[in-house]
Chains A and B, each alone.
Chain A
Amino acid sequence: MSAVAPVPGAAPPASAPAAGREQAPAPGEGQGPGQRHGRGPGPAHARGRLTPWLYLAPALLVLGGLLAYPVWQLGLISVLEYTQAQVSGGEPTSFQGLANYAELFSDAQFWDVLVATVLFAAACVLGTLAVGCALAVLLTRVRAVPRLLLMLAALGAWATPAVTGSTVWVFLFDADFGPVNRVLGLGDFSWTYGRMSAFALVFLEVVWCSFPLVMVTVYAGIRAIPAEVLEAAALDGASHWRTWRSVTTPMLRPILLVVTIQSVIWDFKIFTQIYVMTGGGGIAGQNLVLNVYAYQKAFASSQYSLGSAIGVVMLLLLLGVTLVYLRLLRRKGEEL
Chain B
Amino acid sequence: MTGAGAGAGAAVPRGRSRRRLRVRPWRLAAEGTAVAVALVVAFPLYWMVLSALKPAGEVRSAHPVPWTANPTLDAFRRVFGQQDFGRYFLNSLLVAGTVVIASALVAFLAATAVTRFRFRFRTTLLILFLVAQMVPVEALTIPMFFLMRDVGALNSLLSLMLPHLAFSLPFAVWMLRGFVKAVPDTLEEAALIDGASRTRFLWQILFPLVFPGLVATSVFSFISTWNDFLFAKSFIISATENSTLPMALLVFFDAETPDWGGVMAASTVMTLPVLVFFVLVHRRLVSGLGGAVKE
- Contact partners of A161 in chain B: CB under 8 A: 223, 226-227, 246, 270-271, 274
Question: Could you mark each residue 122-143 of chain B with 1 if its beta carbon is under 8 Å from any beta carbon of chain A, else 0?
Answer: 1101110011111111111111
Q: In angstroms, how far is the closest chain A Cβ from the Cβ of B208?
A: 4
Q: Could you tell me the distance between the alpha carbons of A150 and B41 in the complex, rounded to whole angstroms?
A: 8
Residues of B1-36 at the interface with A, using a CB-CB cut-off of 8 Å, are 1, 4-5, 7-8, 10-12, 26-27, 30-31, 33-35
- Look across to chain A and name the residue whose beta carbon is closest to the beta carbon of B151: A65
A172 within 8 A of B: yes
**DSSP class of B's interface residues: helix, strand, loop or mixed?**
helix
Q: In angstroms, how far is the closest chain B Cβ from the Cβ of A140?
A: 5
- Look across to chain A and name the residue whose beta carbon is closest to the beta carbon of B268: A164
B209 within 8 A of A: yes
Q: In angstroms, how far is the closest chain B Cβ from the Cβ of A9?
A: 11
- Partner of A3 from the list B139, B207, B213 (CB cut-off 8 Å) is B207
- Look across to chain A and name the residue whose beta carbon is closest to the beta carbon of B183: A19
Q: In angstroms, how far is the closest chain A Cβ from the Cβ of B16?
A: 12
- Given A26-B178, A26-B294, A141-B27, are A167 and B253 also a contact pair (CB < 8 Å)? yes
B77 within 8 A of A: no
Binds A, one of B42-50, B68-76, B81-89: B42-50
- Given A143-B4, A161-B274, A165-B44, are A16 and B208 also a contact pair (CB < 8 Å)? yes
A30 contacts B139, CB within 8 Å? no
- Partner of A233 from the list B11, B45, B268 (CB cut-off 8 Å) is B11
- Contact partners of B183 in chain A: CB under 8 A: 19, 22
Question: Could you mark each residue 177-206 of chain B with 1 if its beta carbon is under 8 Å from any beta carbon of chain A, else 0?
Answer: 011011111011100000000100001010
- Given A26-B182, A58-B106, are A163 and B250 also a contact pair (CB < 8 Å)? yes
A59 contacts B109, CB within 8 Å? yes
Q: In angstroms, how far is the closest chain B Cβ from the Cβ of A64?
A: 9
- Partner of A168 from the list B45, B59, B211 (CB cut-off 8 Å) is B45
- Contact partners of A311 in chain B: CB under 8 A: 136, 139-140, 142
Residues of B105-122 at the interface with A, using a CB-CB cut-off of 8 Å, are 105-107, 109-110, 112-114, 116-119, 122
B166 contacts A67, CB within 8 Å? yes
Q: Could you tell me the distance between the alpha carbons of A71 and B42 in the complex, rounded to whole angstroms?
A: 39
Residues of A25-81 at the interface with B, using a CB-CB cut-off of 8 Å, are 26-30, 35, 37-38, 41-43, 45, 48-49, 51-53, 55-56, 58-59, 62-63, 65-67, 69-71, 73-74, 77
B286 contacts A220, CB within 8 Å? yes
A59 contacts B173, CB within 8 Å? yes
- Contact partners of A174 in chain B: CB under 8 A: 260
- Contact partners of A62 in chain B: CB under 8 A: 106, 165-166, 169
A52 contacts B113, CB within 8 Å? yes
Q: In angstroms, how far is the closest chain B Cβ from the Cβ of A88?
A: 11
B110 contacts A59, CB within 8 Å? yes
Q: Could you tell me the distance between the alpha carbons of A174 and B94 in the complex, rounded to whole angstroms?
A: 34
Q: Could you tell me the distance between the alpha carbons of A140 and B6 in the complex, rounded to whole angstroms?
A: 9
Q: Could you tell me the distance between the alpha carbons of A7 and B31 in the complex, rounded to whole angstroms?
A: 42
Q: In angstroms, how far is the closest chain A Cβ from the Cβ of B278?
A: 4
- Given A26-B290, A55-B112, A56-B109, are A334 and B295 also a contact pair (CB < 8 Å)? yes
- Look across to chain B and name the residue whose beta carbon is closest to the beta carbon of A56: B113
The 6 closest A-B pairs by CB, nearest first: A27-B290, A311-B139, A66-B166, A73-B143, A159-B278, A59-B110
Q: Would you mind naming 19 contact pairs between A and B with Cβ atoms under 8 Å apart?
A: A23-B179, A26-B290, A27-B293, A37-B181, A43-B188, A51-B117, A58-B105, A63-B169, A66-B147, A144-B4, A150-B35, A152-B38, A164-B271, A167-B264, A176-B60, A258-B293, A269-B136, A272-B229, A312-B139
| Chain A contacts to B: CB under 8 angstroms | 1, 3-4, 7-8, 10, 12-13, 15-16, 19-20, 22-24, 26-30, 35, 37-38, 41-43, 45, 48-49, 51-53, 55-56, 58-59, 62-63, 65-67, 69-71, 73-74, 77, 87, 135, 138-144, 146-147, 149-150, 152-165, 167-172, 174, 176-179, 182, 208, 213, 216-217, 220-221, 223, 227, 230-231, 233-234, 243, 254-255, 258-259, 265, 268-269, 271-272, 275-276, 279, 291-292, 294-295, 298-299, 304, 307-308, 310-312, 314-315, 318-319, 321-322, 325-326, 329, 334-336
